Every structure is written in C-alpha cells, then in structure tokens.
Amino acid sequence: QAALRGKNVISLAVSPSNSKSLLAGTYDGLLRSEDGGLTWRPATGVVPKAATASKTLRSKAVAASSGVRLPDAKILDVRFSTAAPNMIWVATSQGLFESVDNAGSWRKVQGPVGGRTVHRVILHPTDQNWIALQAATRVYVSSDHGVSWNETAVRAGQRRRSRAPCC
C-alpha cells in the first residue's frame, strides 16, 4: 500500500477475469495491484510510437519493442473491457490510451480530441468495438474500435432519458 500512500486515487478498476487484479488512476499515473490492493507498482508499459487503430491492434498483436511509456499524466478514468478482459482503456489529461495485452504495452488512440484531456471512457459490455468518451462538454462514440468517432447530440452534464446501447 505504500505506493498509494499520499496519492489521490481518481479512478479504480477491477479486472473482470481476476478480482485481485486492480488498476488505480492517480494524479501521477497508473498503478497496478495483482494481490487485491496489498502492493502496487506502476502500470505504464510501453506505448508503440507509430501505432494507429488497425486490424493488427484489434487482433492483439501490438508491437511493444519501440515506443515510450504511458505518460505520467493524470489518469481520470480506467476501464477493463468485459468483452476482451486483456483490453484496458485509460482516459488521461493527455488523451485516450488503449492496451490489448493487460497493460504490457499501450497505444495512444488518435481520436476526436487528440492529446487533449479525456474525462471518461465507457465500453460496451459485449462489443469490444463500441467505445464512448467524454472530453470537456462533448461526448463522442465509436462503433469501430476508435477508427472513427461521431459527436453525439447530448452534451456532458445534460439530463436526457435515453437508452444507450451499452448501459
């Protein structure tokens, strides 16, 4: 727990395939525990430099040999995919990131916000290609694993009764 001492935890996620595997988003980056929160270590992995959304990435064949680490940025939201348990999405103060190998490597998602702050990410429970994100007052949805994005008519903070396809 020493790794969490003095940290402001913003977001916490539990792996759908292992309840002892936790990720904590903090102001200083992403931390991981594999023992139910007893010990923590950085979960920054490697970010492939030239990665873009492609069939290769969706088939979990991410090249981790070149790149930089997940930035030590403010981690505002972290989600494990229930559709693909090794897939993790992280909303940060420097954009949206995805790992398809359980945080071993990362790619920066080239989406509608670029490197600007992403506040929330929502994943469909059974369709790994459906993703929504909130950036400032805008909400964007992708149905093709982040290759293309559409801005929704609903602005973040608005109250509207609707049935989203995921939740």
Tell me what pLDDT residue 60 has: 31
69 vs 48: CA distance, rounded Å: 9
Q: Is the pLDDT of residue 130 over 60?
A: yes
Rg (C-alpha) for the chain, rounded Å, is 15
Residue 43 and residue 103 in contact, taking contact as beta carbons nearer than 8 Å: yes
Q: Is the pLDDT of residue 150 over 90?
A: yes
Confidence of residue 82 (pLDDT cuts 50, 70, 90): very high
Burial class for 101, CB neighbours closer than 10 Å (0-12, 13-18, 19+):
middle
- Dump pLDDT digits (tens) for 95-128: 999 998 888 888 888 888 888 999 999 999 999 9
Give 47 or 33, the one with higher predicted confidence.
33
Give 17 or 155, the one with higher predicted confidence.
17
Question: Bridge partners of 107?
Answer: 98
Residue 111 and residue 53 in contact, taking contact as beta carbons nearer than 8 Å: no
